[in-house]
């Protein structure tokens, strides 16, 4: 299979993420294609969430990968689904997040994923994205990580330092 550009991956993995139920705006119908209008919420890649102090923040909403070991019937990313597949490298997610953040397109990251290799391996990949954002990039924006079913409790409790720690 030909290797995908980061833009191709973003197209596939932002689109795949819209099925990850999290907020009202990411899957809502807005203006019709070819007739965009005010208030359109159509499109992919950006969703919204609320911080503990009540602010609404825009998030880059993507999957790390839409490959998955499992075959859950109602999931578009199930193993037997004939969708295009892609997988971001950790560094690509970090770079995209920081890039969009610096251009003022987002205030944080919503990262979900299919399950690859094992629940622990997949959870470690997500945590590593957060760790690099916080510790290497000094990123202080909002981060929402999916918790992977079956991942070990130690991983769930793992702490990622924030720049103020
Ligand atoms: S484990 Fe998650 S991503 Fe994989 S098929 Fe089931 S619902 Fe979809």
Instruction: Give the residues of the chain that fall short of pLDDT 70.
Output: 1-2, 21-44, 161-165
How many Å lie between the centroid of ligand 1 and the Cα of residue 157? Answer: 22
- Residues touching ligand 1 (Cβ under 6 Å) are 68, 70, 72, 75, 77-78, 114-115
Atom of ligand 1 nearest to the CA of 76: 8
- Give the residue extent of every domain in the chain: 6-19+46-157
User: For position 38, what pLDDT does the model report?
Assistant: 55
Beta pairing partners, 90: none
Closest-CA residue to 160 (of 122, 123, 133, 121): 133
Closest-CA residue to 61 (of 9, 110, 133, 114): 110
User: For position 136, what pLDDT does the model report?
Assistant: 97
Atom of ligand 1 nearest to the CA of 69: 4
Measured CA to CA in angstroms, residue 87 lies from 14, 18, 74, 106, 123 at distances of 11, 16, 21, 21, 15
- Pairing relationship of beta strands 46-50 and 56-63 according to DSSP bridges: antiparallel
- Pairing relationship of beta strands 108-112 and 142-145 according to DSSP bridges: parallel
For the stretch 75-94, pLDDT in tens is: 999 999 999 999 999 999 99
User: For position 57, what pLDDT does the model report?
Assistant: 87
């Amino acid at each position: 299979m030909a290797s995908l550009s980061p833009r191709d991956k973003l197209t596939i993995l932002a689109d795949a993420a819209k099925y990850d139920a999290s907020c009202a705006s990411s899957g809502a119908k807005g203006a019709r294609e070819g007739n965009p209008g005010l208030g359109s919420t159509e499109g992919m890649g950006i969703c919204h969430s609320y911080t503990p102090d009540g602010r609404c923040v825009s998030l880059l909403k993507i999957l790390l990968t839409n490959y998955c070991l499992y075959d859950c019937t109602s999931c578009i990313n199930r193993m037997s689904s004939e969708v295009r597949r892609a997988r971001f490298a950790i560094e690509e997610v970090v770079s995209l997040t920081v890039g969009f953040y610096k251009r003022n397109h987002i205030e944080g990251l919503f990262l979900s994923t299919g399950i690859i290799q094992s629940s622990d391996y997949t959870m470690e990949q997500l945590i590593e994205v957060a760790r690099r954002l916080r510790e290497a990039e000094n990123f202080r924006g909002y981060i929402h990580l999916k918790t992977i079913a079956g991942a070990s409790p130690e991983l769930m409790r793992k702490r990622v330092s924030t720049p103020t720690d």
